[in-house]
């Protein structure tokens, strides 16, 4: 079953077409990679899906509901949560406070109830769940560390933990291993796999780095210059000459 | 409204628009180059009026000479403000803006304590008499403002579009980092922008001195109008500021004629609020990609 | 979790209870104004926690003041009704004002709020009936409760004290509630908060309206005390003073604005002999803080505390190191 | 001519460039290649003065330039074409070029340079009165290169000149770069299009997570397996 479908989505900025007529099908409980060299339109597509941009044309369906035109917070509430390339955490809070805050932000209640009710029960529940998430993401040992003073790789994982606090069905990760060394990369990709394997969360991974995508994803969609180049299994993608050319450039230059 | 009143109102509108344009162009320039938002811009206007008061009314210099003095003096105040306030708060528009609110207090007190607080300084009108245009009576003192505004805006336009330093100023406004890569010294440009900004506010104040009550608090009324103009025009756009100034000059004058000055202010503010909501980038503003 | 804050609160409350009996009438009046300003400055902090610095906050206060004047003059309502009703009126006006403002951010918000505030203030000048035009409204009753006349400073002082304590308590709870945390999350990273499912606009509006509500209370209390109000009471000059208090104190903790107001009230009273030179002093202080101490006094306190803690820790480390050696 | 000696660059606490050393000889093209976020652009920005290295030294013509402002470095003869072109959008093509020659005072010489640039990029002459923001991506790239050349720099820094351009445009830009080399220009080229960059350059440095993992003669790197691996993980 497809949890996320993108149909003929086009996004123009003024005269520039950043994404042109793109289709995408993400199956439930898969890790789907969207790759392509710089300027391929990955980030634009990402922003269209998460609601930051409205598409110029085309539709986006998540879990059976049309979500194009909805606001980012509405999409998040429906269970499609994105992370950011950087700063996907509140830097001046501790790790535990980060996840607790992300959970607090979920509560839907009025001003007066928030101020007057003591809601110990809810607090206890939130704390329990936050600790569970940290345990799962292997951040529990650092729960009192200030987010801004954590190692780069762990900050990225905290960003994912914050997203988990929203109880998403699908997480979209924006270049989760950008600028990381191999050890950090392995740590993050390991966590990404566990999201799907242990908690059954669908993952959409937007990445520049092919290596990460190859080892982590079930299926891959390749974009180049705003258009979909191909879609397939990692092995198919890696050996496709069009993809190699998109990444390394053609070898046939007439200088 | 009969023809005479209409002509009177139109000419008053142009005069008002000219003054607003001189004031607002300076504000827009400072904001454009390095996001310097000057709350004390109204006090610079006031300072220009006091320069004329001192040199013309007290020292007895010829009126045009006194007006010209306002340009370097208030221009220097602009440079000092850049060095002392905007440079240390660079990168934080609000902090610079609030700090210049403090500067406004300081200037009001200094001027008030030197030349008196409550007293309204009257600057005698140097050019008496009025032009008679189709039955409408328009004082020469007011009419004088129109060519001065044209000359000043023309000069500024020539500077920005035909002089290297002016072009560099525009380059800084569009992309400061890339401007630096061309060897353009950004710190000189911010000083230059504030010099022009101060000088234009000072010039406007100097021209208005004979027809506007000169008090330490005369900047108050000006700052709101100036910000309305700049926001209407699109914050950083100088052409936008001029267009909006003329527009607001007409709105204010016509509404004042048919109703009163307070309603005119209200209409101006409401107009700006609508523009902000419908077109946040202003009339000629650009959406930054 | 923290015993220091409640203890401090008790000490302050006792001091506040004793203060009027040891002070001159003039000082009591100053204390009344101080308490009113305490509500005002604290209510302003609510908006700033979302990052929306407004220039119309004293106009919201003025809205409460004008509402009070009208309510007590037209319908002769008692003070225990005028104060909450005025707050509601200010909140409603706040909601109307903030709706277009939400389209703007940062500096744009600041300037646009200035303009919309002026629009309201100008309407008080324009509509002589009912607002009394530029000369404002006079003859606002000081109010009474249980046959105690609030024209007397000490009874009114205690009335204001009760209202102020209740208001501050509410705002303190709000600050520490999940809503207060949401405000700060929006300020820290709007995009992240949005991605976690937060309706950013709704919470920004909520902060503005709540702030307006308490500013309305402050305005109402002020109107009853002064007996006469005019549009000049709520102009941008007053607004700059509010900004000075909050910049001097800092906004990152609940206590910052309170510290700022307290210090600046003392400076204000102390500088009374300077007469007209006072604004110069205040302008200078504002510039000084924005440039050299942007975190405000609360930042200074935090630095001192951290340094002391570090020194204490340093000592402890040295002792333990010494123990290990021996 | 230019050498980076063990430089480190930090963004806050994160080290974006670690212990990088690069040497550029007069008249050659040196390319820095590597995946996104490898630290190529940061390294280039350090040379141009937009980012001060936290450790190490950058020496240009025997003089240390680390810690200088971009203005000072430009005056020494280093010009940069920033990533994403960054033309002044509301200035005409001509004005953009003039800004490139901002520090030059010799009018006739400048005029000559301008003619040379128009010779390289005829389209800029045709459109010299058009606002730069209205040019196509490829034309903007040409303008950005032209603007940098206006200062007659001894060293030209190019950041991702092929980014977001259609293949035919990339070919065009590549031709121009090789022409500039033929005319004796010294160039540091940052590119994600590795094959192209290694065809153009004489020496190449491969960056990965802020470090140089490989360097050598471009022709050899072109056939190196590790280069392929850096990009494709194959």
Contact B182 D99 (CB under 8 A): yes
Q: What is the pLDDT of residues A176-222, one digit of tens each?
A: 887 677 788 888 889 999 998 999 999 999 887 777 788 889 999 98
Q: How far apart are the first and last CA of chain B?
A: 47
Question: Each residue of A51-81: pLDDT tens digit?
Answer: 988 899 999 999 889 998 899 999 998 999 9
> What's the rounded mean pLDDT across residues B55-82?
92
> Which B-chain residues 134-153 have CB contacts (< 8 A) with chain C?
none
- How many of the other CB atoms lie within 10 Å of CB of C162? 11
CATH dotted code for A1-79+170-255: 3.40.50.300
The minimum CA-CA distance between A199 and chain D, rounded to whole Å, is 28
Q: Where are the domains of chain B?
A: 19-217
Q: Which value, in Å, is the radius of gyration of the alpha carbons in chain D? A: 17
Tell me the three state secondary structure of residue D203. Answer: strand
**pLDDT tens-digit readout, B204-223:** 999 988 888 888 888 888 88
Q: Which residues of B touch C116 (CB under 8 A)?
A: 269, 273
For residue A105, give the nearest of C170, C173, C198 by CB distance.
Answer: C198
Residue C101, pLDDT score? 86
Taking the Cβ of residue A38 and every Cβ of chain D, the question of whether any pair is shorter than 8 Å is answered with yes
- Select from A72, A96, A155, A165 the residue whose CB has the most chain C CBs within 10 Å, as the one to mutate to test that interface: A72
Alpha carbon separation from C11 to B45, C8, C255 (Å, rounded): 50, 5, 15
D partners (3+ CB pairs within 8 A) are A, B
Is it true that the peptide bond before C130 is cis, omega within 30 degrees of 0?
yes
Q: What pLDDT is recorded for position A107?
A: 67
- pLDDT at residue B34 in the model: 83
Residue ranges per domain, chain A?
1-79+170-255, 88-167
Chain D residue whose CA is closest to A185: D209
CA angle D50, D53, D58 (to 5 degrees): 90
Q: Provide the terminal-to-terminal Cα distance of chain A, rounded to the nearest Å.
A: 49
Phi and psi at D40, nearest 5°, equal -65, -50
Q: Is D32 a residue whose pLDDT tops 50? A: yes
Q: Which residues of C touch A114 (CB under 8 A)?
A: 174, 177-179
The partner residue sitting opposite C280, judged by closest CB among B110, B272, B273, is B110
Q: Closest to B276 (Cβ–Cβ): which among C103, C244, C286?
A: C103
Q: What is the pLDDT of residue A87?
A: 65
Interface test with A, best of C46, C180, C196, C210 (most A CBs within 10 A): C196
Query: Distance between CA atoms of B127 and B145, rounded to whole angstroms?
Result: 12
Q: Which of D4, D15, D55 is nearest to D157 (CA)?
A: D4
> How high is the pLDDT of residue C318?
55
All residues of chain C having their beta carbon less than 8 Å from the beta carbon of residue B277 are 100, 103
Read off the pLDDT of residues D41-56 as tens digits, 9 standing for 90 and up.
Answer: 899 999 999 998 999 9
Please give the full DSSP string across C8-72, using - where no structure is assigned: HHHHHHHHHHHHHHHS-HHHHHHHHHHHHHHHHHHHHHHHHHTT---S-HHHHHHHHHHHHHHHH
> CB distance D102–B184 less than 8 Å?
yes
Question: Could D162 and A249 be called an inter-chain contact, meaning their C-beta atoms sit closer than 8 Å?
Answer: yes
Q: What would the two tokens of residue D157 be? A: 């820094």
Q: Which residues pair with B121 in a beta bridge?
A: B214
3-state SS, residue B92: coil
State the total domains in chain C: 1
Closest listed residue to residue B23, CA positions, set B148, B139, B169, B123:
B148
Which residues are within 8 A (CB) of D180 and not within 5 positions of it... i.e. 6 or more apart? Answer: D120, D149, D156, D187
pLDDT in tens, A79-138: 999 988 776 788 888 899 889 888 877 766 667 777 777 677 778 888 889 999 998 988
Average pLDDT over residues D132-143: 89
Predicted TM-score (pTM) of this structure: 0.88
Q: What is the pLDDT of residues D193-228, one digit of tens each?
A: 888 888 899 999 988 888 888 888 988 888 887 777
Report the interhelical angle of B164-174 vs D93-100 (nearest 10°): 100
Task: Identify the closest residue of chain B to D156 by CA–CA distance.
Answer: B181
Please report which confidence band the pLDDT of residue B188 belongs to, taking 50, 70 and 90 as the band edges: very high
Spatial distance between the Cα atoms of A78 and D60, rounded to a whole number of angstroms: 56
- Using the predicted structure, report yes or no on whether residue A171 has a pLDDT greater than 90: yes
Distance CA B136, CA B127 (A): 18
State which residue of chain A sits closest to D14, comparing Cα positions: A152
Gap from D86 CA to chain A (nearest CA, Å): 15
B103–C287 CB contact, under 8 Å: yes
Preceding omega of B122 cis (within 30 degrees of 0) = no
Rounded CA separation A218/A220 (Å): 7
* Whole-complex ipTM: 0.86
For residue A63, give the 3-state DSSP assignment: coil
Among A107, A114, A168, the strongest candidate for a mutation testing the C interface, having the largest count of C CBs within 10 A, is A114
For residue C275, what is the DSSP state? G
B250: closest CA of chain C, how far (Å): 19
- C6 in contact with A at a CB cutoff of 8 Å? no
D234: closest CA of chain A, how far (Å):
7
Angle at which helix C25-49 crosses helix C153-176, to 10 degrees, equals: 20
**pLDDT for the residue A89:** 86
Q: How far is B79 from chain D (nearest CA, A)?
A: 21
The DSSP symbol for B279 reads -
Residues whose CB falls within 8 Å of the CB of residue D197, separated by 6 or more in sequence, listed in order: A249, D31, D33, D189, D191, D204, D218
pLDDT at residue C321, as a whole number: 46
pLDDT at position D85, please?
Answer: 86
DSSP character string of C135-166: G-B------EETTEETTSHHHHHHHHHHHHHH
Q: Is D201 part of the contact surface with chain A (CB cutoff 8 Å)?
A: no
Cross-chain residue pair B170–D75, CB shorter than 8 Å = no
CB contact under 8 A, D103 and B177: no
Average pLDDT over residues B100-104: 93
Which of A78, A111, A162 to mutate against chain C (most C CBs within 10 Å)?
Answer: A111
A134: distance to nearest CA of chain C, Å? 17
Of B40, B192, B215, B191, nearest in space to B116 by CA = B215
Position C303 scores a pLDDT of 82
Residue A208 to chain D, least CA–CA distance (Å): 7
CA A140 to CA B127: how far, in whole Å?
82
Tell me whether chains C and D touch (3+ CB pairs under 8 A).
Answer: no
Note the pLDDT of residue A253.
Answer: 60
**CA dihedral over C64, C65, C71, C76, signed as positive or negative:** positive
Contact B70, B202 (CB under 8 A): yes
pLDDT in tens, B259-268: 888 899 899 9
**If you ran DSSP here, which 8-state letter would residue D15 be given?**
E
Domain membership of residue C36 (yes or no) is yes
Residues making up chain D, counted from first to last = 234
- Do B and D share at least 3 CB pairs under 8 Å? yes
The whole domain housing C121 covers: 22-235
The H or E element that residue D78 is part of is: strand D78-81
| A90 and C CB contact within 8 Å | yes
- For chain C, list residues with pLDDT below 50: 1, 321-326
Please report how the helices C296-325 and C236-249 are oriented relative to each other, as an axis angle in degrees rounded to 10: 0
Interchain CB contact of B130 with C (< 8 Å): no
Query: What is the chain D residue with the closest CA to A183?
Result: D209
Q: A51 to chain C: nearest residue by CA?
A: C195
User: pLDDT band at B287, cuts 50/70/90?
Assistant: low
Determine the Cα–Cα distance for residues C283 and B81; give it in Å rounded to an integer: 14
d(CA D62, CA C89): 72
Query: Cβ contact (<8 Å) for C277 and B113?
Result: yes
Nearest to B95 among C103, C115, C294 (CB): C294
Question: In the prediction, which pLDDT does B165 show?
Answer: 92
Q: Are strands D186-191 and D155-159 parallel, antiparallel or unpaired?
A: parallel
Tokens 């403000």 found at: B81
* B106 lies within 8 A of chain C by CB: yes
Are chains D and A in touch, 3+ Cβ pairs below 8 Å? yes
Question: pLDDT tens for residues C108-124?
Answer: 888 889 888 989 999 99
What distance in Å separates the CA atoms of residue D158 and residue D147, rounded to the nearest whole number? Answer: 12
DSSP string, D84-133: T----TTSBHHHHHHHHTTT---HHHHHHHHHHHHHH-HHHHHTTTSBGG
Chain A and chain C share a number of CB contacts under 8 A equal to: 75
Query: Do the Cβ atoms of A72 and C181 come within 8 Å?
Result: no
């Amino acid at each position: 079953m497809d949890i996320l479908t993108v149909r003929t989505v086009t996004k123009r900025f003024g005269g520039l077409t950043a994404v042109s007529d793109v289709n995408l099908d993400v199956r439930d409980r898969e890790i789907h990679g969207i790759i392509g060299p710089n300027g391929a339109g990955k980030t634009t597509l990402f922003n269209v899906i998460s609601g930051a941009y409205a598409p110029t044309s085309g539709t986006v369906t998540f879990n059976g509901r049309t979500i194009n035109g909805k606001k980012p917070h509405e999409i998040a509430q429906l269970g499609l949560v994105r992370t950011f390339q950087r700063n996907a955490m509140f830097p001046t809070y501790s790790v535990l406070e980060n996840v607790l805050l992300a959970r607090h932000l979920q509560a839907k209640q009025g001003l007066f109830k928030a101020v007057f009710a003591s809601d110990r029960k809810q607090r206890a529940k939130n704390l329990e769940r936050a600790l569970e998430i940290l345990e799962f993401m292997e951040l529990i040992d650092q729960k009192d560390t200030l987010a801004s003073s954590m190692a780069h790789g762990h900050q990225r994982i905290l960003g994912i933990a914050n997203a988990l606090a929203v109880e998403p069905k699908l997480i979209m990760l924006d270049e989760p291993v950008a600028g990381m060394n191999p050890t950090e990369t392995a740590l993050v990709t390991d966590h990404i796999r566990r999201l799907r394997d242990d908690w059954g969360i669908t993952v959409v991974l937007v990445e520049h780095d092919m290596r990460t995508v190859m080892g982590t994803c079930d299926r891959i969609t390749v974009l180049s210059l705003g258009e979909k180049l191909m879609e397939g299994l990692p092995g198919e993608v890696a050996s496709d000459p069009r993809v190699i050319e998109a990444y390394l450039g053609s070898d046939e230059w007439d200088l | 409204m009969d023809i005479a009143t209409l002509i009177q109102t139109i000419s008053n509108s142009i005069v008002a628009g000219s003054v607003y344009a001189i004031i607002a162009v300076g504000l827009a320039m400072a904001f454009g180059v390095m996001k310097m938002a000057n709350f004390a811009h109204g006090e610079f206007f006031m300072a220009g009026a006091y320069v004329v008061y001192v040199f013309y009314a007290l020292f007895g210099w010829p009126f045009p000479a006194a007006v010209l003095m306002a340009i370097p003096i208030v221009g220097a105040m602009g440079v000092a403000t850049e060095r002392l306030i905007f440079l240390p708060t660079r990168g934080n528009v609000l902090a610079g803006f609030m700090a210049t609110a403090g500067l406004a207090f300081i200037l009001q007190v200094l001027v008030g304590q030197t030349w008196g607080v409550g007293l309204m300084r009257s600057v005698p009108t140097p050019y008496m008499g009025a032009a008679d245009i189709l039955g409408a009576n328009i004082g020469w003192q007011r009419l004088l403002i129109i060519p001065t505004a044209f000359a000043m805006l023309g000069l500024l336009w020539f500077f920005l579009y035909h002089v290297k330093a002016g072009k560099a100023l525009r380059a800084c406004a569009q992309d400061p980092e890339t401007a630096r890569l061309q060897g353009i010294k950004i710190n000189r440009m911010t000083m230059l922008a504030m010099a022009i900004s101060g000088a234009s506010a000072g010039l406007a104040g100097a021209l208005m001195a004979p027809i506007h009550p000169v008090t330490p608090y005369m900047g108050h009324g000006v700052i709101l109008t100036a910000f309305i103009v700049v926001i209407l025009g699109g914050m950083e756009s100088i052409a936008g500021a001029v267009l909006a100034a003329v527009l607001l000059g007409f709105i204010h004058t016509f509404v004042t004629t048919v109703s009163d000055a307070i309603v005119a202010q209200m209409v101006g503010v409401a107009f700006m609020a609508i523009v902000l909501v419908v077109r946040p980038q202003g009339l000629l503003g650009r959406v930054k990609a | 979790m923290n015993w220091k804050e409640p203890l401090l609160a008790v000490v302050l409350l006792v001091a506040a209870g004793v203060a009027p009996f040891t002070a001159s009438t003039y000082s009591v009046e100053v204390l009344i104004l101080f308490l009113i300003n305490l509500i005002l400055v604290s209510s302003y902090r609510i908006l700033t926690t979302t990052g929306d610095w407004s220039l119309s906050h004293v106009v919201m206060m003025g809205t409460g003041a004008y509402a009070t004047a009208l309510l007590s003059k037209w319908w002769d309502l008692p003070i225990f009704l005028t104060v909450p009703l005025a707050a509601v009126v200010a909140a409603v006006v706040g909601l109307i004002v903030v709706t277009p403002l939400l389209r703007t951010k940062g500096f744009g918000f600041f300037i646009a709020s200035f303009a919309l505030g002026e629009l309201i203030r100008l309407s008080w000048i324009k509509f002589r009936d009912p607002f009394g035009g530029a000369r404002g409204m006079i003859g606002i009753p000081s109010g009474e409760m249980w046959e105690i006349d609030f024209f007397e400073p000490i009874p009114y002082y205690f009335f204001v004290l009760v209202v102020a304590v209740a208001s501050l308590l509410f705002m303190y709870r709000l600050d520490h509630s999940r809503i207060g945390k949401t405000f700060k999350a929006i300020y820290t990273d709007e995009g992240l908060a949005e991605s976690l499912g937060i309706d950013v606009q709704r919470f920004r509006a909520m902060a503005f309206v709540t702030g307006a509500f308490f500013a309305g209370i402050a305005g109402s209390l002020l109107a009853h005390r002064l007996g006469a109000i005019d549009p000049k009471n709520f102009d941008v000059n007053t607004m700059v003073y509010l900004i000075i208090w909050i910049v001097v104190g800092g906004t990152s903790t609940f206590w910052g604005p309170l510290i700022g107001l307290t210090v600046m009230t003392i400076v204000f009273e102390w500088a009374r002999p300077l007469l007209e030179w006072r604004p110069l002093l205040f302008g200078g202080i504002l510039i000084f803080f924005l440039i050299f101490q942007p975190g405000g006094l609360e930042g200074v306190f935090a630095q001192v505390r951290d340094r002391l803690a570090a020194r204490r820790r340093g000592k402890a480390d040295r002792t333990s190191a010494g123990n290990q050696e021996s | 001519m230019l050498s980076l000696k063990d430089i480190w660059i930090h963004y806050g606490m994160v080290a974006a460039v670690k212990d990088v050393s690069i040497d550029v000889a007069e008249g050659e093209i040196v390319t820095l290649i590597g995946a996104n976020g490898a630290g190529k652009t940061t390294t280039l920005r350090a040379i141009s003065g937009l980012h001060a290295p936290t450790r190490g030294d950058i020496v240009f013509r025997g003089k240390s330039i680390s810690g200088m402002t971009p203005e000072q470095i430009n005056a020494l003869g280093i010009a940069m074409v920033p990533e994403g072109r960054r033309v002044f959008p509301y200035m005409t093509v001509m004005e953009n070029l003039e800004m490139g020659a901002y520090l030059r005072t010799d009018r006739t010489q400048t005029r000559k340079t301008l003619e040379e640039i128009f010779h390289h990029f005829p389209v800029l002459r045709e459109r010299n009165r058009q606002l730069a923001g209205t040019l196509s991506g490829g034309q903007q790239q040409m303008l950005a290169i032209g603007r940098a050349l206006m200062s007659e720099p001894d060293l030209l820094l190019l950041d991702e000149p092929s980014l977001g351009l259609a293949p035919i445009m990339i070919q065009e830009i590549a031709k121009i770069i090789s022409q500039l080399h033929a005319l004796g220009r010294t160039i540091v080229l940052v590119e994600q299009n590795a094959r192209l960059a290694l065809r153009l350059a004489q020496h190449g440095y491969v960056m990965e997570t802020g470090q140089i993992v490989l360097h050598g003669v471009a022709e050899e790197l072109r056939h190196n397996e590790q280069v392929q691996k850096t990009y494709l993980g194959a």
